Amino acid sequence: MSSSYRWVIVGAGALMSCVALGAMFSLAIFQEPIATATNWSHAGIASAMTLNFIVMGVGGFMWGAASDRFGPRPVVLIGSVILGLALVFASRAETLFQFQLTYGVLVGLSASAFFAPMIAATTEWFDENRGLAVSLVSAGMGVAPMTISPIARWLITEYSWRPAMMMIGIGALVLMVPAALLVRRRPDAPADEPVANSISSDGPVSLSKVFASPQFIVLGLTFAACCAAHSGPIFHMVSYATVCGIAPMAAVSIYSVEGLAGLGGRLLYGTLADRLGVKPVLVAGLLVQAGALATYLAVSDLSEFYALAVVFGSAYGGVMPLYALLAREYFGPRIIGTVFGAATMLSSLGMAFGPLIGGWIFDTYGNYSWLFIGSALVGLGAAGIALAFPPLPQKKARAAFAAS
């Protein structure tokens, strides 16, 4: 198969991550219309997103391990079908509990079927420019706020929230199932590289040793703290802007600007990581993210929101693909789906409580100040943890370690 097919893999991965994550995060757009129409609390609706992240974490590990064993195509195909049906079911929920189960559990389970498997597939297809390729797949997440969110807002305005959510679910099926069928493993993949922390280069990999290693512990904790820092502000950004006096459609456009900046940030940070190394670029991005979160306390008009959205979006978007690069460099290609799936599980648990805590803060205090203060502090903690990353192993060093 031609090596040019690797770009088909990148395109399919970007499309699926865009639709899946865009559909999941569109709950931020649906939150106020659902609350108005149903009288469900903001915290109750936001808890569906908390369930998303918890289930997404467990699912990411399961789907990642399944992709290592069975290949990425069956995983992303099943995930595509579940996602579309889950959104349709959620649109018909009559109680908050039903909504939390369908949107929180099923959407979270399906959305986790794409990131780790497609990142693993992409790293298999690319020997050079791997950072750029992984960033392009991850860029689908950045494109989502520019596409799914405005579409969701328009559909809600035209048809109300239930038909809007149903149409997004049907659209997900139409787009994602064909894309999933394009995914395949590289037929001429090179032999497995020796994997640090395995018992031997040819024998079975000791996952218990991998998960207990300093490399994985720092990777997982940094990923979790990073996501815990930005999840609440991202989810509640539209509501926060509305509280500050921004019109609803303009508030959604702030979310879209963040997504556009995240797209540029992924490309920029991925390219810099290929040239300068992953660790310094990651630490710098985490510091920028923390500073931007604190600055949100001082913004009030639309132009200020736009300017800060560029900084914040590029930072949190730019660092996300770097964790996959670190997992690949530390542990090699053979178990990257499992390892990155486990790291994604920790990151999802970090993300889980941001939306719920943000909803509780707003219901209790009538504003989001403490959300941004706490998020900035957690962001600084993520940068501090990242400084503890061990040096990246060289191939010869990994081989010697694996043979020892």
Full domain range(s) for residue 298: 5-184+198-399
Alpha carbon distances (Å) from 273 to 183, 268, 277, 282, 319:
26, 9, 5, 8, 10
Burial class (CB in 10 A: 0-12, 13-18, 19+), 230: buried
Q: Write the CATH number for 205.
A: 1.20.1250.20
% of the chain exceeding 90 in pLDDT? 26
pLDDT at 312 over 90: yes
- Best CA proximity match to 227, nearest among 350, 61, 340, 383: 350
Q: How many domains are contained in the chain?
A: 1
- Identify whether the C-beta of residue 272 lies closer than 8 Å to the C-beta of residue 322: no
pTM to 2 decimals? 0.68
Q: In the numeric block, which tokens belong to residue 286?
A: 């985490």
Burial class (CB in 10 A: 0-12, 13-18, 19+), 77: middle
Q: Does residue 362 fall inside a structural domain?
A: yes
HSE value, Cβ hemisphere, 13 Å, CA-based, for 127: 9
Q: What backbone phi and psi angles, to 5 degrees, belong to 118? A: -75, -35
How many residues in total does the chain contain? 404
Q: Does residue 26 fall inside a structural domain?
A: yes
CA 257 to chain centre: 17
pLDDT at position 375 is 92
Between CA 112 and CA 53 the distance in angstroms is: 9
Task: Give the pLDDT confidence of 90-111 residue by residue, as tens digits.
Answer: 999 989 999 989 998 999 899 8
Q: Does residue 190 fall inside a structural domain?
A: no
Q: Does residue 173 fall inside a structural domain?
A: yes
Q: Does residue 272 fall inside a structural domain?
A: yes
State which amino acid sits at residue 101.
L
Q: Does residue 192 fall inside a structural domain?
A: no
Decide which of 212 and 135 is more confident: 212
pLDDT at position 188 is 67
pLDDT at position 106 is 92
pLDDT at 130 over 80: no
pLDDT at position 205 is 60
* DSSP per position, 312-379: HHHHHHHHHHHHHHHHHHHH-STTHHHHHHHHHHHHHHHHHHHHHHHHHHHHHHSS-HHHHHHHHHHH
User: What is the residue-averaged pLDDT of the chain?
Assistant: 82
- Best CA proximity match to 22, nearest among 249, 227, 372, 263: 263
The 3-state DSSP class for residue 387 equals coil
Q: Does residue 189 fall inside a structural domain?
A: no
pLDDT at 166 over 90: yes
